[in-house]
Amino acid sequence: MKRLRWPTRLPIDPYVLLLLGTVGLAALLPARGTGAEVVDHASTAAIAFLFFLYGVRLSTREALDGLKHWRLHVTVLACTFVIFPLLGLAARGLVPVLLTQPLYQGLLFLTLVPSTIQSSIAFTSIARGNVPAAICAGSFSSLAGIVITPLLAASLLGSGVGGFSADSVTEIVLQLLVPFVAGQLLRGWVGGFVARHKKVLGLVDRASILLVVYAAFSEGVVQGIWHQVSPLRLGGLLLVEAVLLTVMLALTWYGSKALGFGRADRITIQFAGSKKSLASGLPMASVLFGAHASLAVLPLMLFHQMQLMVCAVIAKRRSHDPVEPAGGHSPAAASRTAADTAPRQR
């Protein structure tokens, strides 16, 4: 008897289906009372452990070598924490025509969170881009976002959002940055164990995010905030996010060309600079938005699936592009040289 396998050409990431299933579970069986407190504490511990693993996995040597390619990293950070938020602020004019105020706040929050790590690396590899640079770019973005995202939220979202306060910034730093630093410090002792059990700990990564989603949407169901969302508003949100993703994909690709980057680096900039991290955004939203976190992370969840589907198609097409000659002094050649000399991901 043959084992059932997940279809390889399924247009939707199976993990996204798990996320949607978790939302459905929260709608039918939300955590209440003591159960809600247990879930909340468990999700906090799970996210702290998740960022501890991020700290363990990031090679300090790779991070230091990645600093040599500082122009690329500055470009990615500018896309993530400058251009994205500016586009988010521009979307304010769509309220109340396409978006409600809560959905707009979620969309604006989406533009403030850091870039992804795993998917940026995966798509860059498929498209034959600068993989070592993608590893460092995603890691730098996530690390910077622990501090930058709360500060941007403080200035752009204001104190009227959920339970946001100066204490929220401190809580995010303690929950995300401290475990990350601890992972870096303990990397020499536990790095080998984490590398040997990469698959199992990868499941822990995803389970942590599912737990945070369940906690956020359970609280939303209990508070009754789903009555604020209609199918028409969801359609408007999807339209706005499709335009946002299209603009960022175009800016990162053609803008990096104008800045003189070669093909391999342009691929890295496009994938790292146009995407947003669900893993980083979810715990931050749960702290910043409190009971309204479910509406706040809805735009991020939708954008996450959209970016995966679109970038998968782009990466596949980029993999068939002709590669520039290795000789000469072009930016692309320099990029490939850096890729060849940088440490490989383990």
In a 3-state reduction of DSSP, which class is residue 157? Answer: coil
As a whole number, mean pLDDT of residues 235-242 equals 95
Residue 235 lies in a domain: yes
Phi, psi angle pair for 143, to nearest 5°: -65, -45
| Range ranked top by mean pLDDT from 18-27, 179-188, 261-270, 271-280 | 261-270
Using an 8 Å Cβ cutoff, are 15 and 213 in contact? no
Residue 260 falls in which region: left (phi positive, over 0), alpha (psi -120 to 50) or beta? left
**Listed range (131-145, 227-241, 311-325) with the worst mean pLDDT:** 311-325
In the predicted structure, residue 45 carries a pLDDT above the cut 50: yes
Mean pLDDT over all residues of the chain?
A: 81
Residue 322 falls in which region: left (phi positive, over 0), alpha (psi -120 to 50) or beta? beta
Q: What is the band of 259 on the pLDDT scale with cuts at 50, 70, 90?
A: very high
DSSP class of 50: H
In the predicted structure, residue 343 carries a pLDDT above the cut 50: no
In the predicted structure, residue 194 carries a pLDDT above the cut 70: yes
Residue 146 lies in a domain: yes
Using an 8 Å Cβ cutoff, are 123 and 249 in contact? no
**Listed range (62-71, 81-90, 164-173, 256-265) with the worst mean pLDDT:** 164-173
Residue 9 lies in a domain: no
Residue 308 lies in a domain: yes
Residue 1 lies in a domain: no
Please spell the DSSP secondary structure of 315-339, one letter per residue: HHHHTTSPPPPSSSS-HHHHHHHHH
The alpha-carbon radius of gyration of the chain (Å, integer) is: 20
pLDDT value for 305: 79
Per the model's pLDDT, the better-predicted residue between 7 and 23 turns out to be 23
Per the model's pLDDT, the better-predicted residue between 49 and 83 turns out to be 83
Residue 283: domain span: 14-321+329-336
In the predicted structure, residue 131 carries a pLDDT above the cut 90: no
Residue 304 lies in a domain: yes
Task: List the CATH number of the domain containing 50.
Answer: 1.20.1530.20
Q: How many domains does the chain have?
A: 1
Please spell the DSSP secondary structure of 9-22, one letter per residue: T-SS-HHHHHHHHH
As a whole number of Å, the end-to-end CA separation of the chain is 36
Residue 267 lies in a domain: yes
**Which single residue is written with the structure tokens 């040997």?**
196
As a whole number, mean pLDDT of residues 249-263 equals 96
pLDDT value for 164: 52
**What percent of the chain has pLDDT above 70?**
82
pTM of the model as a whole: 0.77
Please spell the DSSP secondary structure of 229-266, one letter per residue: --HHHHHHHHHHHHHHHHHHHHHHHHHHHHTT--HHHH
Residue 181 lies in a domain: yes
Residues 6+ apart with CB under 8 A from 255: none
Measured CA distances, 234 to 15, 99, 228, 246, 310 (Å): 21, 8, 11, 18, 19
Q: Dump pLDDT digits (tens) for 311-338.
A: 988 998 988 887 665 443 444 444 444 4
